[in-house]
Each structure stands twice: as structure tokens, then as C-alpha cells.
Structure 1
């Protein structure tokens, strides 16, 4: 029985993958589930594992960063990713195993069969480790873009992504609220920004608002739910988006343990 560690910053992804491995795949057991690179390193320092199911774009360190920090890992890696076209191209080129999100049972079973065959051949394991090493040498560890190109009358305005505090829908337009209190009106819908920006950092809290969690000051459950930003703006948060928002915030915040 092969033992697997699952690494993903979203609890739903961990639970869904664990369910499929337990009910639809043979010869593998879930030995652990963790949410980020730090937790994975700590877990791996105390346990052995045969397979690492690894998300790539996580808050803080990426999956690539985690692997680069480990000294001669002796497990097989299966990347599980929905982001970063560059990273996916690098993975395909290196011929290591990957699964696209949302995970399909047949893709998961196929990847596992490849891994099982490798464990029957010492040469195959060595080749797999070489491919992984080559990938880590060539992959772009800073896969997320630093700037966003915003169309303006007469040209393009290049804005640092980290300078965007929140975004507000205004019909078919979007009002960008920057950290320096400036506003920009862009002829793109909020959905287009939602599809473009990193959803680990820019969270859709309402049909009309996206917030950069790095600039959230306070969350209030009063008045139906409000998110207060460091620049003074206050945005309504829908009930169905509250759980996702809090999950993202918890990954970036220190919290006291509940007794």
C-alpha cells in the first residue's frame, strides 16, 4: 500500500482528493493532509511517504519552492494544479506527472498507475527524480505576474498588482481602488478581473466587490457582513462568499487556538 501526503491550501480540494483516493483508487492510502509548504516540511520531517500530491500556487511559498527546499526527496510527486500557464508548460515539457483541477477520477487513476509502475523499477525511479530536478531548475518560481496592463484612453497603464487594494463593479466598468487612495475606472467587467487575478489573494466577496486580502483591516458580521479595508473603504460581503473569504484570511493570519 502506497502512502500519500496531500498538500493544498484549500480544504475542499484536500477533502475531495482524499475521498477519490479512498473510494475510487486501489493501492494507496492518505497518510496526511496539510495546507502549505511549512506544514508539509514539518510533516515530512516526521513521516515517510511514497507519493506527494502537490498544489503549485499556494499563499507564501509555491509547490516548486517546497520541493527546492527539500534535500533529495525520495517520494514521487504528482502536481495538482489549476493555475499558471507557464508552470503547466514546464511540467508538460519535463514529463513529470500532473493532474488538472477540478480533478477527474480517470485522470487521478491514470497518474497513479504510472506511479505504481515506476515503483517496480529502480531505473524508472531514478529517471523520475532526474526529470523533477530538471523541472525545478527551469521552472519560474515567481509565476504570478507583478504588473497588470490596464487599458486607458490613448494607451495602457501598467499598475503593480500589489498596489490594488480592492475592485468595485460599476456596470460594465470596474473601479480600481489603489493603496495610495487613487481610483481608476477601467472598461472591463469585474468578472474579467476575477478571471485574471490570483484568487488566492484577490477574493470575490460579493457580486460587486473583490478585495486584496493583504489590505483587509476588519471583518464584521453586523449589518449582514462587512469587510473594512485599510484605505477606509467598507464593502458588503455575501453570506455564501464569507466562508471562502475567511478561509483565505486564515491562511494569512495568526490565530489563537479554540479551547
Structure 2
């Protein structure tokens, strides 16, 4: 029996994984559920944990910051992630396993079976620690991330980042604008996507705006600092970010 905790900031992700495990994985005992790394640390001190289902992209501290505490507790990690195929290859090479959201029942069963076998074999802990540390390094090349999953309340929408024109902050939400004129609103703040998206292509131009440089048409100061995108949208560039934005444009257009 694997004593397990689930760590994810999305309520839908937590509840759906809980029920999938309850219904399909009889060798798993869920000792606790956390919506942040801080809550997960507390669970690790309260319970003897064999396995952690750990989301990567969370507000505040991301999933990687729980790794040292998991190592100290000798708990193993299965990552739950919205990263695309390149990043998943890095996870597969270094982590115990990964699950791509939305989670597939058959893939979940395979991951749990692998965890059971791995823990039973009691693989050398030093090798395991090195493997987890390598994971964070391998995923740091965000330029290779080409798709992300956006929570939509009932599940996830998988989108190609090249189709994103810009992202706007709306209080604690982020609104994605796409080339096909669709919009998707997600309950995550803009900073999370600033950290995830490749910074050679996506630039924060204002506290409330991120733009995809592939859709940039014009940059001028006729009406204050602003950009004009290929879909005709005009967005303000804050003075605080103007210098950095100008440098990024030079780098982007350099042959």
C-alpha cells in the first residue's frame, strides 16, 4: 500500500485525481491533499508518505521547490503537468513518472504500478536525488515548450503557444486571446504564464499584458508608449518596461 498525497493548486485537478485513484488504484491510500507547496510540507511532517502526485506550475512556490522536502522524507514523486512533449521527455528520463493533464486512467494505472515496483526495489537514494535535481535543470529550457494546458473549469484546453496573440490580466484571472479570435479565461494570475512561456517569444509589456512578439506589427510613442498587434489590438507599454521591451525587440529581430 502506497501512502500518497496530492499537491495541486487547481480544485478540479485535485478532486478528479482523488476520485481516479480511489476508483482505479486499490494499492494507493490517500493520506492528504494540498493546494500549495507550503501545505504539502506540513503533510510530509504529519504523515509517512511514499508517493507524491505533484503539480509543477503553482502560484508562489512551484512544484520543484518541494523536491528537497520529498527527498528528506524519502517520498517519491509523480509529476502532474501541462508541459508539452519535449519537457515530458525530460521528466520521463529523470523522474519516477509523469502524468499529462487531463490525466488518462490507463496512464495513471501504469504510473502507480511503476511506483509500486520502484519502491519495492528500494533503488539507491543517491541516484534518486540526482535524478530529481536533473529534472529541474532539464526543464529550465522554456524555449522548447510549445503547448500548454489551460484549466477551463470542467477540464483543460490544450493550446499551441504560437496561436496565442496576447494575454491580459483581469484581477486574479488571465484572458488568452488567440489568432482564431477565440478567448479563454483562466483562474491564474499573469505572472504564472510569464514564468512558463518562453521569454524569447513572449514579453511582459505592462503589469496587465503579455504579448507574443510573432504578432507584433508596430511599436510607437504617438499615444504614449504602445504596441499595435497584427489583429489591430493596441496595448500600452509601461514606462518601467519600455527599455527592456526595446532591447527584447532588438534581440528578436537580429539576424
TM class, shorter-length: 0.5 to 0.7
Aligned 8 A contact 1:54 1:79 in 2: yes
Distance in 2, matches of 1:184 and 1:141, equals 27
Distance in 1, matches of 2:20 and 2:232, equals 36
Aligned 8 A contact 1:146 1:162 in 2: no
Distance 1:92 1:71, change over 3 A: closer
1:185 and 2:228 are equivalent in the alignment: yes
Q: TM-score, structure 1 length as denominator?
A: 0.56
Could you report, residue by residue, the CA deviation over 1:44-76 in whole angstroms, capped at 9, with x for unpaired residues?
Answer: 122221110000011111111221455534011
Map of 1:156 onto structure 2: none
Aligned 8 A contact 1:148 1:161 in 2: no
Distance in 1, matches of 2:231 and 2:33, equals 39
Aligned 8 A contact 2:70 2:76 in 1: no
User: After superposition, where does 1:147-166 map in structure 2 within 5 Å?
Assistant: 147=199, 149=201, 160-161=203-204, 163-166=206-209
Map of 1:8 onto structure 2: 8
Could you report, residue by residue, the CA deviation over 1:142-176 in whole angstroms, capped at 9, with x for unpaired residues?
Answer: 86247464xxxxxxxxx742625158xxxx999xx
Distance in 2, matches of 1:173 and 1:134, equals 36
1:116 and 2:116 are equivalent in the alignment: yes
- CA shift, 1:9, in A, is 0.7
RMSD between aligned residues: 3.6
User: After superposition, where does 1:205-244 map in structure 2 within 5 Å?
Assistant: none
1:19 and 2:22 are equivalent in the alignment: no
Q: TM-score, structure 2 length as denominator?
A: 0.57
Distance 1:73 1:90, change over 3 A: farther
Distance 1:124 1:20, change over 3 A: farther
Q: Secondary structure at the match of 2:120?
A: coil
Aligned 8 A contact 2:81 2:100 in 1: yes
Distance in 1, matches of 2:232 and 2:101, equals 25
Aligned 8 A contact 1:173 1:189 in 2: no
- CA shift, 1:30, in A, is 1.2
